[in-house]
Copies of this chain bind each other. A is one copy, B any other.
Amino acid sequence: MLRQVTLEDIRSIGIGAGILGTGGGGNPYLGGLHLASVIRHHGPQPLIDPFQLADEALVCVAGNIGAPTVSIEKLPEGTEMLRALRLLEAHIGREFDAIAIAEIGGANSMQPLICGLLAGIPTVDSDSMGRAFPEIQMSSFLFDSAATAAPLAMVDAADNAAVLPAAISDRWAEKMARNIAVSMGARAGLVGTIMSGAQLKASGVHYTMSLAHQLGCRVIEAQAQKRDVPQVVADELDGQVLFRGKISDVHRRTTAGFARGSVRIDSFTPLAPPDKSGGSLHIEFQNELLIARVNGAVAVTTPDLICIVTAEEGEPVTTELLRYGTRVAVIAVPAPPQLKSENALRVVGPGAFGYDVAFRPLPGGVIGRRPKGS
The interface of chain A, by Cβ under 8 A from chain B, is 87, 91, 158-168, 172, 175-176, 178-180, 182-184
Contacts and interface: CB of A to CB of B under 8 A. Distances in A.
A83 to B, nearest CB: 10
A178 B161 CA distance: 14
The list of the 8 closest CB pairs from A to B, nearest first, reads A179-B179, A176-B183, A163-B163, A175-B183, A158-B168, A179-B183, A161-B165, A161-B166
B160 A163 contact: no
Contact of A168 (B159, B166, B182): B159
A182 B176 CA distance: 8
B180 A184 contact: no
Contact of A165 (B87, B178, B182, B183): B87
Q: Which of A167, A176, A180: most chain B CB closer than 10 A?
A: A176
Q: How many chain copies does the complex carry?
A: 2
Given A87-B165, A179-B179, 8 more contacts: A159-B166, A160-B166, A160-B167, A162-B163, A163-B163, A172-B183, A176-B180, A179-B180
A196 B83 CA distance: 28
A88 to B, nearest CB: 11
A50 to B, nearest CB: 31
A256 to B, nearest CB: 10
Nearest to A257: B179
A150 to B, nearest CB: 8
A176 B184 contact: yes
Nearest to A172: B160
